[in-house]
């Protein structure tokens, strides 16, 4: 097991030190500039997510825009916000928060592009829709082989590795706070997961749309209470974040590289912008124009990192940062809340992380299910996948913190590279679609999309002119 950990760590250092950091920041800047800074259309984002006209009037075939947002948020808002941020600050210092913010701002543009493309290339699935990177890779790039490679990668990453991270975090939180045997936690979590995932997409959408907002609001309120209690220290804290992100002392001591790497890795794990996961949920939404769901998913990136992750990071820094602590991930967050509010806060965090992580397991499961269907629509294959998901939930509760996170970093890095290559190649399509949306908004219309505006309509099954006219 130690050999595997060392090998995975070695591969991670190569991938993240020399490739992904440059690619993620570089392409984030490229999409930001070429799209006209689309991630800052905040007013339009909130209009779309709340306006019923965003959906077609001909009867819902898929989930609502908000439900699709909730499914992706179920995967975004989880251990990355509470355990991932803690490990980033402990290992990378306060400066890691700045690099999280940067990757969120730039990554929101990447998130917009991938989710808009998912809508453009989605396909009908009985009474709903499905899509994602595997679909736009095959249909847009005409590469079934690369699509299958991505489908396998995301299924392994989310359905197996990321779910082991979620269950590992729950295990650490409950064993530390309540001294519950990890085996008992494994049994309980496996039973609950099995009860939900055999219910299908609609049950995931319904459960996520209820749990995610409630748990996020409660966690944010508690974090804001701590912020108010320490309001006088906020200016110094923000100065500390920026000083550690760029300070000469950090460069000389090697902390500069650690802050960048940990901030970007944990930021990507948390908000998933450009990774290729959120488009799987975005494709299921029933909207009148692809850009609407692209805007909603970009909003999810800000919601995740600039709000939830920042709240966690500030609390940990208020409590002392826990640099060099022997605690792992969520235990650092529990200690921070407990040191400020008292022992009861540790119990609250344990319960909260259960809700966050369990909802993430559901969201992660759906990403794998969608891509299993892409590879081959087989009931037997789906059943085997579900069983393996449950096995990995058990594995995560019993494995070490370092192993599950190292595996997560490696697999999500590979997945991101494949998806970023695809959306860069297909950005010209996204640009045309975005310009069409902006034109209609300037004309005072609620935008309705037709594939007729595209010169190359190969692989686009939905969005015909007749449907568009029927929804105007």
Evaluate whether residue 348 is within a structural domain. no
How far apart, in Å, are the Cα atoms of 356 and each of 77, 148, 171, 469? Answer: 6, 30, 13, 41
Evaluate whether residue 286 is within a structural domain. yes
Evaluate whether residue 130 is within a structural domain. yes
Contacts of 335 (CB under 8 A, 6+ apart): 319, 322, 325, 327, 346
pLDDT of residue 471: 47
Residue 6, pLDDT above cutoff 80 = no
Give how many domains the chain has, as a whole number.
Answer: 1
Residue 290, pLDDT above cutoff 90 = yes
Say how far apart CA 54 and CA 161 lie, in whole Å. Answer: 35
Consecutive H or E run containing 15: helix 2-15
pLDDT of residue 40: 94
pLDDT of residue 57: 44
Rounded to an integer, the average pLDDT of 281-301 is 89
Rounded to an integer, the average pLDDT of 270-289 is 86
Consecutive H or E run containing 128: strand 128-130
pLDDT interval class at 423 (50, 70, 90): very high
Q: Max Cα separation, the chain?
A: 63
CB atoms near residue 69 (< 10 Å): 28
Rounded to an integer, the average pLDDT of 169-190 is 90
Q: In 230-325, where does DSSP find H-type helix?
A: 234-246, 248-253, 255-271, 278-282, 290-302, 310-318
| Domain assignment of residue 308, given as a range | 2-36+61-141+201-335+400-470
450 in helix, strand or coil? coil
CB atoms near residue 387 (< 10 Å): 11
Evaluate whether residue 277 is within a structural domain. yes
Evaluate whether residue 65 is within a structural domain. yes
Return the ∠ at Cα 131 (arms to 127 and 133), rounded to 5°.
175
Evaluate whether residue 136 is within a structural domain. yes
Angle at which helix 21-34 crosses helix 95-120, to 10 degrees, equals 60
How far apart, in Å, are the Cα atoms of 227 and each of 101, 166, 217, 224, 333? Answer: 18, 27, 15, 5, 15
Evaluate whether residue 345 is within a structural domain. no
pLDDT of residue 444: 92
- As a whole-number percent, the residues of the chain with pLDDT over 90 amount to 35
Residue among 229, 472, 200 at smallest CA distance from 345:
229
Q: Which phi and psi angles does 232 have, rounded to 5°?
A: -65, -20
Contacts of 215 (CB under 8 A, 6+ apart): 77, 352, 355, 356, 359
- As a whole-number percent, the residues of the chain with pLDDT over 70 amount to 85
pLDDT of residue 77: 60
pLDDT of residue 120: 96
Residue 13, pLDDT above cutoff 80 = no
pLDDT of residue 59: 47
pLDDT interval class at 47 (50, 70, 90): confident
- Each residue's pLDDT tens digit, 317-366: 988 866 656 667 888 888 899 989 888 888 888 888 888 788 888 878 88
- Each residue's pLDDT tens digit, 387-419: 999 999 999 999 888 889 889 989 999 999 999
For residues 92 and 463, the model is more confident at 463
Residue 133, pLDDT above cutoff 90 = yes
Return the ∠ at Cα 166 (arms to 160 and 172), rounded to 5°.
130
- Contact in structure between 297 and 111 (CB atoms under 8 Å): yes
Say how far apart CA 168 and CA 170 lie, in whole Å. Answer: 5
Q: Which phi and psi angles does 124 have, rounded to 5°?
A: -75, 140
For residues 54 and 352, the model is more confident at 352
- Each residue's pLDDT tens digit, 150-176: 999 999 999 999 999 999 999 999 988
- Each residue's pLDDT tens digit, 235-265: 898 988 888 887 655 544 455 567 788 888 8
Evaluate whether residue 194 is within a structural domain. no
Q: Is the dihedral of CA 211, 217, 223, 225 positive or negative?
A: negative
Range of weakest confidence among 171-175, 189-193, 292-296, 468-472: 468-472
């Amino acid at each position: 097991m130690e050999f595997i950990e060392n090998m995975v760590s070695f591969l991670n250092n190569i991938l993240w030190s020399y490739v992904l950091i440059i690619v993620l920041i570089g392409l984030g800047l490229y999409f930001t500039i070429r799209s006209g800074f689309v991630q800052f259309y905040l007013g339009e984002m909130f209009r779309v997510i709340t306006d019923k006209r965003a959906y077609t009037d001909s009867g819902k075939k898929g989930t609502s825009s908000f439900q699709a947002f909730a499914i992706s948020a179920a995967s975004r808002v989880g251990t990355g916000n509470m355990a991932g941020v803690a490990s980033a600050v402990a290992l990378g210092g306060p400066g890691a928060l700045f690099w999280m913010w940067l990757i969120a701002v730039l990554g929101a543009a990447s998130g917009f592009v991938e989710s808009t493309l998912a809508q453009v290339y989605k396909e009908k699935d009985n009474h709903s829709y499905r899509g994602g990177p595997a679909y736009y890779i095959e249909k847009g790039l005409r590469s079934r082989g690369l699509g299958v490679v991505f489908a396998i990668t995301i299924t392994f990453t989310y359905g197996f590795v990321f779910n082991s991270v979620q269950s590992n975090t729950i295990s650490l939180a409950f064993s530390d706070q309540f001294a519950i045997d990890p085996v008992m936690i494994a049994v309980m979590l496996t039973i609950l997961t099995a009860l939900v995932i055999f219910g299908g997409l609609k049950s995931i959408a319904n459960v996520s749309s209820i749990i995610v907002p409630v748990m996020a609001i409660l966690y944010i309120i508690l974090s804001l209470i701590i912020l108010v209690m320490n309001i006088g220290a906020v200016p110094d804290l923000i100065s500390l974040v920026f000083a550690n992100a760029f300070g000469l002392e950090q460069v000389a001591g090697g902390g500069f590289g650690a802050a960048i790497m940990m901030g970007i890795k944990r930021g990507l794990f948390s908000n998933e912008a450009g990774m290729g996961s959120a488009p799987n949920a975005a494709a299921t939404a029933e909207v009148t124009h692809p850009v609407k769901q692209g805007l909603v998913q970009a909003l999810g990136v800000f919601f995740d990192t600039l709000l939830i992750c920042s709240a966690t990071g500030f609390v940990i820094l208020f409590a002392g940062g826990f640099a060099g602590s022997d605690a792992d991930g969520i235990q650092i967050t529990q200690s921070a809340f407990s040191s400020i509010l008292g022992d009861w806060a540790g119990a609250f965090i344990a319960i909260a992380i259960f809700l966050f992580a369990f909802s993430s397991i559901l969201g992660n499961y759906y990403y794998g299910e969608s891509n299993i269907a892409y590879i081959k629509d087989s009931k037997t294959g789906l059943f085997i996948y579900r069983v393996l998901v449950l096995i990995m939930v058990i594995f995560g509760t019993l494995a070490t913190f370092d192993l599950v996170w190292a595996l997560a970093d490696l697999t999500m890095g590979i997945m991101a590279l494949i998806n970023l290559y695809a959306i860069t190649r297909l950005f010209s399509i996204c640009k045309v679609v975005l310009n069409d949306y902006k034109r209609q908004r300037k004309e005072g219309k609620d935008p309705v999309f037709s594939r007729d505006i595209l010169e190359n309509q190969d692989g686009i099954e939905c969005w015909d002119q007749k449907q568009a006219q029927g929804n105007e």
